[in-house]
Amino acid sequence: MNATDIHDCWKKIGLWGDRSCPELERLIHCRNCAVFGAGAAALLNRDIPAGYREETTRQTAQPRVPKQSGTKPIVVFRIGAEWLALPATVIDEVTEIRFVHTLPHRDGRTIKGVVNIRGELVVCLSLSDLLGFDAAPEARHSAGTARRAIYRRLLVAAHHTGRVACPVDEVVAGLRYRPDELKPVPATVARTYTLGIFPWEERNVGVLDSELFFHAVNRSLA
């Protein structure tokens, strides 16, 4: 079964829709409805996406990297040719690309709209527009990239002010860096929001300052 086969009436006439369902008065919440339970079961039993098994197998087969003293965990991601990273502590989840619902009175540049993340509407942002760099396609692929399956993903970041979702072209998790080994920031990355450069697989990854990042997010939402 595919996800498109699921009868998701809760998004149309239920709590996440226009709330016109006649059963809401009796059941109070969609989770008390048999249709919602059947949809959840169908979602768990749906067909896995193409390439998911191979990607999971590759990640599981990776040798465990021992934790080093003084290092910090990060999630590395790519937007066009730009490689960036955020602290793993602010990443809520990495999920599949979702349909973006546009918002009225927005130009659609930085704020693309909202996406549905587990029943919650989360603002979807363009990181290239937010941080001010050109999202040109990656010019070349190294041997490491050629061996790695590449999938576009939705990066969901969390702060005490709320959550935001950001489409990215590639995600690599499970990496760590030493703050004292960061290199100076060149002009080719989002200099204002970057702590320094983390060398990884012949690439320069700009490690973002999470506080400055969310300051930019909140400013764009104001």
Ordered by start, the domain boundaries in the chain are: 3-44, 52-221
Tokens of 217: 């997010």
Q: Which two tokens stand for residue 71?
A: 């290092």
Task: Report percent pLDDT > 90 for the chain.
Answer: 27
* More confident site: 86 or 147: 86
Quickly state the pLDDT bin for 126 (edges 50, 70, 90).
Answer: very high
Mean pLDDT confidence for 135-147: 54
pTM: 0.64
Average pLDDT over residues 162-181: 90
* Residue with more model confidence, 53 or 190: 53
Six-digit token pair at 151? 């999938």
Residue type present at position 54: E
Q: Which one, of 128, 194, 126, 193, lies nearest residue 154 by Cα?
A: 126
Helices (H), 45-165: 52-61, 127-131, 143-146
Task: Tell me the C-alpha to C-alpha distance, in Å, between residue 27 and each of 9, 14, 31, 33, 36.
Answer: 14, 11, 8, 7, 11
Assigned fold of 52-221 = OB fold (Dihydrolipoamide Acetyltransferase, E2P) (2.40.50)
Which tokens belong to 32?
């008390």
Q: Could you tell me which residues are beta bridge partners of residue 74?
A: 87, 175
The string of pLDDT tens digits covering residues 55-101 is 778 777 877 665 556 789 999 999 988 899 999 999 999 999 988 88
The reported pLDDT for the residue numbered 143 is 46
8 Å CB contact between 209 and 194: yes
Over the range 125-140, which residues count as b (16 or more CB within 10 Å of their CB) and which as e? bbbbbbbebeeeebee
Cβ-count burial 161-175 (b if 16+ within 10 Å, e if not): eebbbbbbbbbbeeb
The percentage of the chain sitting over the pLDDT mark of 70, rounded to a whole number, equals 84
Q: Decide if 129 contacts 119 (C-beta within 8 A).
A: no
Give pLDDT, residue 66.
59
Secondary structure of residue 182 in the 3-state scheme = coil
Q: Span 186-213, mean pLDDT?
A: 85
Please check whether residue 76 is in contact with residue 67, taking contact to mean a CB–CB distance below 8 angstroms.
no
Q: What is the pLDDT of residue 1?
A: 46
Looking at per-residue pLDDT, the higher value among 62 and 132 belongs to 132
Predicted pLDDT of residue 157: 94
- Three-state DSSP at 77 gives strand
pLDDT of residue 190: 66
Give 38-63 pLDDT, tens digit per residue: 877 777 777 777 777 787 787 778 77
Beta pairing, strands 153-159 & 91-95: antiparallel
